[in-house]
Amino acid sequence: MHQIAPVIHSPPFSRSSGRTARLLGAGLVICAILSGAATSAMASASTMVRNDHGLLTVTPDSPLAARLSVTPVTLASPSRTIPVPGEIRAEPSQSLSVMTPVAGAIISLPVTAGDHVTRGQILAELASGDMAQATTDAAKARAGLDYARRALLRAQGVASAGGAATRDVEAARSAWLQAQAEDDRATARLAALRAQPGQGGVIRLTTPIDGMVSAVNTAAGAFVTDPTAPLMTVTGTQQVWAVAAVPENLTDAVHVGQTVDITFPALPGRTTHGTIAAIEPALHSDTRTLQARVVLANDDDTLKPGMFATVTILTPQPPRIMVPQSALLMNNDTVTVFVEVAPHAYRRRDIEIIYDNGDLCEVTSGLAAGDRVVTQGAVLLNDD
């Protein structure tokens, strides 16, 4: 009898099962590689940093040492900034009303409002009877003085030759002194009119400062009868005031001599620096503000009176220990930093700080001036 051997059927081999096997094999290889890399990295880290009861020593030639930045702690005097609204104003001593010293008719008015003028430039010309009288008096006084001088010299010559009495010389001397006084009076009158001999009945009004004609209150052909009425106003623009309105609750923090930064909504990107020159002694009752004045140079004439501004007053603070926020490490509820206690040796230290919006924060305890703090790469150190 023949035995029939059992036939065992194996499942057919598929491509998908082969791909799965290859992927599993590759995964095992990658895991082995990563495990070896992690083990190598841990071994490398342990060789770069040595922990001796919290004292971390970094190998000088290690890559970690190159990534650490250490900065000495110094005292800084940050400034508290107080921004307040402000306004550009013309300096009162540089704003002049132009008036005529005598009555007369305006025969020439070569300027208009908005014109720039320079010192000595003619603003208006007037025909005036008073001016004509003043120039005539000056001419007569000069002629009389010249006649009296020659008469005195003649009398002195005759007296020295023995042909004239002493009283004749004294009379000539008295006449000369009176003529001298009359000439002085006439010359002073012309000086008060800001006129020169020979101008006749025409008086020329000139500007005593460089500036801009801000207002004109008359016209050519008008007859001026009131010498106290301003014909025009000239405003000096070489210097202006920035007037800051300081709120009542901040007045104690503002003092003469403080530095300010001034910006202008109408001039984006421009910042002008100055110092507080004066502070008004009394508050304005309607706004409850104290006005602080800053004198600004305005050679380019870009700062116009009436222009709005923001005046930022810089108030110096007492010296404080400041560190970069990049040096801070959070350890549970404690803020710490790494302090270099020896070359390439660091120890963690607890500190107390006051956070600020900038890159620096104030340290209230835990550090002293001169301590060397790790400001970059502190997170790479590990003393756990």
Q: What is the pLDDT of residues 291-334, one digit of tens each?
A: 999 999 988 888 988 999 999 998 877 888 888 888 998 877 88
Angle in degrees, 0-180, between the axes of helices 129-160 and 166-192, rounded to the nearest 10? 160
In a domain, 67, yes or no: yes
In a domain, 327, yes or no: yes
pLDDT higher than 90, residue 246: yes
Taking the CA atoms of 50, 56, 62 and 67 in sequence, report the sign of the dihedral they define: positive
Domain boundary among 268, 300, 316: 316
Residues counted in the chain: 384
313: left (phi over 0), alpha (psi -120 to 50) or beta: beta
Query: Confidence class of residue 23 from pLDDT cuts 50, 70 and 90?
Result: very low
The stretch 179-200 carries a mean pLDDT of: 81
Nearest to 337 by CA among 303, 306, 372, 285: 372
State the greatest distance between any 2 C-alpha atoms of the chain, in Å, as a whole number: 200
CB 133 within 8 A of CB 102: no
332 and 283 co-located in one domain: no
In a domain, 169, yes or no: yes
Predicted local confidence at residue 357, as pLDDT:
55
CB 336 within 8 A of CB 383: no
CB 369 within 8 A of CB 75: yes
Predicted local confidence at residue 33, as pLDDT:
40
Q: What percent of the chain has pLDDT over 70?
A: 84
307 and 350 co-located in one domain: no
Can you tell me the distance from the alpha carbon of 288 to that of 191, in angstroms, rounded to the nearest whole number?
48
349 and 373 co-located in one domain: yes
Predicted local confidence at residue 356, as pLDDT:
66
How far is residue 6 from each of residues 2, 9, 13, 199, 348, measured CA to CA in Å? 13, 10, 21, 148, 77
How far is residue 116 from each of residues 5, 130, 209, 236, measured CA to CA in Å? 125, 30, 11, 10
Write the CB contacts of 115 (distance below 8 Å, at least 6 apart in sequence). Answer: 212, 213
Q: Domain holding 356: CATH number?
A: 2.40.420.20
In a domain, 159, yes or no: yes
Predicted local confidence at residue 382, as pLDDT:
65
In a domain, 331, yes or no: yes
Q: In this predicted structure, which of 21-30, 263-272, 345-354, 371-380 has the lowest mean pLDDT?
A: 21-30
How far is residue 222 from each of residues 108, 109, 125, 207, 229, measured CA to CA in Å? 10, 10, 11, 20, 13
- Report which residue type is found at 47: T
pLDDT higher than 60, residue 47: no
Q: Domain holding 260: CATH number?
A: 2.40.30.170
**What domain range is 352 assigned to?**
54-78+319-380
Can you tell me the distance from the alpha carbon of 216 to that of 213, in angstroms, rounded to the nearest whole number?
7
135 and 191 co-located in one domain: yes
In a domain, 71, yes or no: yes
Domain boundary among 316, 337, 367: 316
pLDDT higher than 80, residue 162: no
Nearest to 164 by CA among 148, 153, 175, 149: 153
With b meaning 16 or more CB within 10 Å and e meaning fewer, what string describes 59-92? Answer: eeebebeeebebbebeeeebeeebebebbbbbbe
CB 190 within 8 A of CB 112: no
Domain boundary among 141, 176, 200: 200
In a domain, 350, yes or no: yes
The residue assigned the tokens 């002293």 is: 368
54: left (phi over 0), alpha (psi -120 to 50) or beta: left
Report the domain count for the chain. Answer: 3
